[in-house]
Amino acid sequence: MQGKKDYQEKLFASFQLSERIPKGNFYRRLKESIDLEFLYPLTKGFYGDSGQKSIDPVVFFKLCLVGYLENIISDRKLMEHCSMRLDILYLIGYDIDEELPWHSTISRTRQLFPENVFEEVFTKVLSMCVERGMVSGHTQAIDSAPVKANASMDTLELKVPEEELDEHLRKVRVLSAMDKKGEPHRKSKGDRSDKGQRSVSASKNELAAIKGRNKKWAKDQDQRPGAKNKGAKYTSNKTHYSPTDPDARISVKPGKARKLNYLSQLSVDTANHVITDIRAYHADGKDNQQLPDIVQRLRARLWKQGLVWENCVADTGYSSGENYAFLEDIGLKSFIPPHGTYKGGPTGFTYNGTEDHYICPQGKVIPFTKVFNDHRTGTKKKAYRASSLICKGCPLKSTCLGKVNEKQFSVTYYRTEYERNIKRVNSKLGRYMKGKRQSTVEPVFGTLTQFMGLRKINTLGLAQANKVMHLSAIAYNLKKYLKFERKRSKSGAGRLDLAALVKSELQYLFGTCIKHRNLVPRF
């Protein structure tokens, strides 16, 4: 017989969320797996002793994690989404007839808690992954990617130099229609920058280089991506700033238009692709400048988890002699390809490491003279110079010396560290590590940006961007944690036992004492 359902709301009903949520539901399993009770004593100092009760810190973090698990970056849309999902209500401990927190409460609480609170939650989740055997610790892959900031290129304003503004503009760049008016395309609601961010700090040489790039930009503007955009012009962090978000920086990727971005530095354990470290940096910084900070922070975190870090894998952007020496000093093996511009010395010259000199193709010795800092790059170099008498009468003099009368050149101070790293990179293990990096950290970045709410930073300021990145990484690790089945890593590397721990630390301390370096990490 045909059935017909007549709906009539009941005045009273007996309903329990726990009976309606399936046993295998993701959020039910998440509720049973994670314990955030430690947040109460950790965040107690940020609240007063009287007044209206604020949102429960555990509920706040669970709501934030739901946003990144569901790829929702808007707090308003997040609360609308949660109100329609029984499993999410069960996760945060709200019944169907309870009113959820107002969306503005989420953003205010995010600003209230400092960065270390979010890092504590990240470390807690990482500890859960370590206890389940998901993290080996011995090989970490490091990479970076720009993440769009919550600011528009249309609101960019010119930095004010000490001299007359119009006179400065005539020196530095071709005046555009926007600059002649003295106003941006769209005025920002409020200027959050300080005096230092509004002032020109670039040198005359840097400003001259910007002027040259402006002229070149004007010639082939139509061929550039985003050329039809009203804001498509050459801009530089040395001449422009964002009043909306002064911490955001102009950056560009090949084939992409210029945007205001943050730089996300990510470290991933190669065993099961668990994120071990993430942090926000200014987008105009270089990867090789940020590597020491990343390594020191990550090494301390792994140490506290009882794990030994042996191999540091990264791409060419992290290459520098200082970084190779730094990693060797703390006992890490670097698998970082050098820049294509690196040369161990002039072509055809042979290096003698014992005597520290070069031998030219004619068998003449080019001795070491001094160590100096290159003013252009700020790097440490060694100078080699031969007397003019040595090169006198040489058949290769015209091609080897050019207009000078004696052979002189400079080589990086860290040549030995470069050569050791190159040997590791070109080895069989080095080729394996390259494949590991490409199949580990790069897919993780793609997952975060496309599916875990990191396609755009919806906050303002570097500190707030760091919180957003930590929340996205926490959500990623939790999803990995719930999917993982306990199994032994193929690499055979496990938790650090006491003997290996003592041996590793003694080797490090002994090596640093010999080199008279004060690089003992503080944990």
Mean pLDDT of 286-306: 92
State how far the Cα of 227 lies from the Cα of 213, in Å rounded to an integer: 16
Mean pLDDT in the chain?
80
Q: What are phi and psi of 406, to 5 degrees?
A: -140, 150
CA distances to 91, 93, 291, 442 from 380, in Å: 55, 59, 18, 32
d(CA 338, CA 321): 9
CA atoms of 94 and 98, how far apart (whole Å): 6
**Residue 497 host element (H or E):** none
Share of the chain above pLDDT 70, in %: 77
Average pLDDT of the segment spanning 166-192: 54
Query: Can you tell me the mean pLDDT for 449-460?
Result: 90
User: Please, what sign has the CA dihedral across residues 357, 360, 366, 372?
Assistant: negative
**CA 182, 185, 189, 195 torsion-angle sign:** negative
CA atoms of 170 and 454, how far apart (whole Å): 40
Render pLDDT for 257-288 as a digit per residue (tens, 0 to 9): 778 999 999 999 998 999 999 999 998 888 99
Tokens of 290: 């940020």
Q: Which two tokens stand for residue 450?
A: 């496309």
Q: How many other CB atoms are there within 10 angstroms of residue 507's CB atom?
A: 11
Sign of CA dihedral 302, 307, 309, 313: negative
3-state helix/strand/coil string of 155-214: HCEECECCCCHHHHHHHHCCCCHHHHHCCCCCCCCCCCCCHHHHECCCCHHHHHHHHHHH
At residue 107, what is the residue type? S
Least confident of 83-92, 112-121, 174-183, 201-210: 174-183
Distance separating alpha carbons of residues 285 and 263, to the nearest angstrom: 8
> Residues 120-160: pLDDT tens digits?
999 999 999 999 889 998 999 999 999 999 888 888 887 76
Cβ contact 147:454 at 8 Å: yes
pLDDT attached to residue 239: 76
Q: pTM (2 decimals)?
A: 0.79
434 CB contacts (<8 Å, ≥6 apart)? 313, 335, 337, 425
Question: What are the residues whose beta carbons fall under 8 Å from the beta carbon of 89, sequence distance 6 or more?
Answer: 17, 82, 83, 95, 96
